[in-house]
Amino acid sequence: MADDKEKAIDVDKLLKNKLKGLSVAHLEAGIAKVVSEIVGEDYKCTINDVKYTLFSGADFHVKIELSYNPED
């Protein structure tokens, strides 16, 4: 017998892509911060080619580079 307590899919929630409301600059800063903390060096992040998908997703190209600071 199928599970009687199976939850129904909230189609409205699924189709409202909240990622569209995020700032790409904030995503870049957040990714750069996490990578910099993990690696112990200052990194920068660039996000390009953002394509929002149906069902609350996004595809994009992420470029992570070591930040060059000649004073270090």
- Count the neighbouring beta carbons within 10 Å of the beta carbon of residue 45: 19
Read off the pTM.
0.71
- Three-class SS state of 15: helix
Residues 6+ apart with CB under 8 A from 72: 42
pLDDT surpassing 90 at residue 9: no
- Which one-letter DSSP state was computed for residue 58? E
- Count the neighbouring beta carbons within 10 Å of the beta carbon of residue 55: 8
Written as six digits, the tokens of 1 are 């017998």
- Provide the pLDDT for residue 1: 47
Query: Between the ranges 3-7, 12-16, 47-51, where is the mean pLDDT highest?
Result: 47-51
pLDDT surpassing 70 at residue 38: yes
